[in-house]
Amino acid sequence: MTLSVDIRMALGDFELAVAFDAPPGVTALFGRSGAGKTSVLRAVAGLVTPQAGRIAVGDTPLFEAGRTNLPVHRRRLGYVFQESRLFPHLTVAENLAYAARVQRRGLSDLDRVVDLLGIGALLQRRPASLSGGEAQRVAIGRALLADPRLLLMDEPLAALDAPRKAEILPYLERLHVETALPILYVSHTLSEVARLATQMVVLERGRVMRAGRTEDVLSDPDIVPLLGVREAGAVIPARITAQPGDGVTELAVSGGRLFLPEHGAPVGTALRVRILAQDVMLALDEPHGLSALNVLPSRIEALRRGGGGGVIVQLRAGEDLLLARITQRSADALALRPGLPVWAVLKTVAVAQGDVGAGP
């Protein structure tokens, strides 16, 4: 089931005109503050009504200008906010049961949801005694038990500190692997998007600047000014090929071999790794005697001049696209141009996602 959004809406002086599809899996709505992310979510939820357009899940229209406008409670969607909004006087179990009852559904899914989110030990507790991360897991459980057609998440990790974020991310990953729901996920944290999202929609001033597979969007040099040069970087698929036990993990990517600081997953595990543009250096000849372990033979696809004397270089390594951020001076000194073979030296490679058995 795919969520299709094609709407126009005026909110005071702000005009929103967006069209995109969100297939099963996580679609990140990404953009600066005020870009219109929350407004899109509110329109999908039925909390605001667009002036024109259509919103549908599969063949079911939720909104069609002048024809259909399902009220919020008939849209069958789960909404998870920054803060968990659990009922404080009810236990976790009662909060979950309430959600299921509102939709007149039994609790047949309860065990599965409790297991999926690891909240079995919390069932008799009250929200005030839960950590922020635990409360968010319960809030996600409550949203799932309402048997939604899609899940809307508005910066669900924004109110959590780094350790709580780290604790909840694996559950969010499982969510998209184990449910076939479209999940629309608002965030302005790129590391989170790189880790969770299979699709990305980049919004700027109420317009879609770029939409597509996360890998494609993040390796597009034209998108860098919108993402910010420090955060810009590609995400590429990898597979663990060896765990030699000396503190590094060996990965195969389409362009060769990479090494990570030791990662706990077994050999064969599929991962997505994130390579920031500012962590990539370029060499015309194969480098030797370097402390960096990661060197990939590549070819320059495109160069984009940025502000402040920087250049973003798009590289193809095997089948994957990478970005490198270098100075204009280096680009001139090396006479970089599309088609030129180069060696990409990666200072750091971070795991963006472990997606064993995940879809795309």
Ligand X SMILES: Nc1ncnc2c1ncn2[C@@H]1O[C@H](COP(=O)(O)OP(=O)(O)OP(=O)(O)O)[C@@H](O)[C@H]1O
Which parts of this chain interact with ligand X (CB under 6 A)? 11-12, 14, 31, 33-39, 188
Contacts of 67 (CB under 8 A, 6+ apart): 61
Q: Name which of 207 and 213 has its Cβ closer to ligand X.
A: 207
Strand-strand pairing, 199-204 and 25-30? parallel
**Smallest separation, CB 202 to ligand X (Å):** 11
- 37 three-class SS: helix
**Smallest separation, CB 352 to ligand X (Å):** 22
Q: Name which of 130 and 201 has its Cβ closer to ligand X.
A: 201
- Number of Cβ atoms within 10 Å of the Cβ of 2: 13
Q: Name which of 14 and 87 has its Cβ closer to ligand X.
A: 14
Task: Tell me if 296 sits within 8 A of 286, measured CB to CB.
Answer: no
> What amino acid occupies position 304?
R
- 333 three-class SS: helix
**Smallest separation, CB 8 to ligand X (Å):** 13
**Smallest separation, CB 87 to ligand X (Å):** 25
Task: Tell me if 324 sits within 8 A of 312, measured CB to CB.
Answer: yes
The residue of the chain with the least Cβ separation from ligand X equals 12
Q: Name which of 38 and 353 has its Cβ closer to ligand X.
A: 38
Alpha carbon distance 95, 213 (integer Å) = 36
**Smallest separation, CB 75 to ligand X (Å):** 19
Q: Name which of 38 and 95 has its Cβ closer to ligand X.
A: 38
3-state helix, strand, coil in the chain (%, to 5): 25, 40, 35
Q: Name which of 27 and 39 has its Cβ closer to ligand X.
A: 39
**Smallest separation, CB 142 to ligand X (Å):** 22
Terminus-to-terminus CA distance in the chain, angstroms?
15
Contacts of 32 (CB under 8 A, 6+ apart): 188, 204, 226
